[in-house]
Amino acid sequence: MEESRLAAVAKIRYARASVALAVIAAVIAGLGGYWVGLSRERHSATAVVLTGTVTWSNAETRLIAFEADGVVSKPDDGDSVYSVLTDSWQGVEGTIHSDGTYPTCLGGGESHPVSTDHHRAELTVIDWDTGGAQWMHVAVRIRCLD
């Protein structure tokens, strides 16, 4: 009887030790995964709001040349070209247009897709690392100011 009692106690101790080891292994794996997650580069973009002047715009290519207020650029600086990838925009009057049209304050008119009229605008932009020498600038929101 004593031997069976000792065997039962040994089984309980073995079961408790197994559970403890499993819990410790799970905690170590969880902390390891958390650490790996923190050390990896995030695949998200932070949007920045810029106010300035659109000096050139092409409604067909959806590209604009934009000079942000207070930023001095070199003459051959390619950083001022932005790709307009938004389907909605806000007009001067405050109306939001969500019909996929190109912002009228940027376009040159129905027969002329290119404009050099120097319109004021507020852009919400993200930068995309394409792996080349320069990042691609993407306007994800446009608010016309004039």
How many domains does the chain fold into? 2
Determine the Cα–Cα distance for residues 102 and 64; give it in Å rounded to an integer.
Answer: 11
Average pLDDT over residues 93-103: 90
Do 34 and 55 fall into the same domain?
Answer: no
Question: Are 18 and 77 within one domain?
Answer: no
Same domain, 77 and 5: no
Residue 55, both tokens: 């000096």
What is the model's pLDDT at position 71? 82
Question: What pLDDT sits at residue 145?
Answer: 95
Query: What range defines the domain where residue 15 resides?
Result: 1-40
Residues 134 and 68 reside in one and the same domain? yes
Residues 115-137 have pLDDT tens digits of 999 999 999 999 887 777 777 88
Q: Is residue 66 located within the same domain as residue 22?
A: no
Q: In the chain, at which residue ranges do the beta strands (DSSP E only) sit?
A: 48-58, 63-68, 81-84, 89-90, 96-97, 114-115, 119-128, 136-144
**Residue 26 confidence (pLDDT) above 90:** no
What is the structure's pLDDT at 40?
Answer: 57
67 and 92 assigned to the same domain: yes
Question: Does position 32 have pLDDT exceeding 70, yes or no?
Answer: no
Asked if 10 and 82 sit in the same domain, the reply is no
- Whether 28 and 53 map to the same domain: the answer is no
Predicted local distance difference test score (pLDDT) of residue 109: 72
Residue 42 DSSP class: P
Is the entire prediction scored with pTM above 0.75?
no
The per-residue pLDDT of the chain, averaged, comes to: 82
Domain match, 11 and 72 both: no
79/122 same-domain check: yes
pLDDT at residue 45 in the model:
72
Asked if residue 55 and residue 2 are part of one domain, the reply reads: no
Mean pLDDT on 83-107: 89
The least confident of 35-39, 45-49, 108-112, 138-142 is 35-39
Q: Say yes or no: 36 and 68 in one domain.
A: no
Report pLDDT for 50. 95
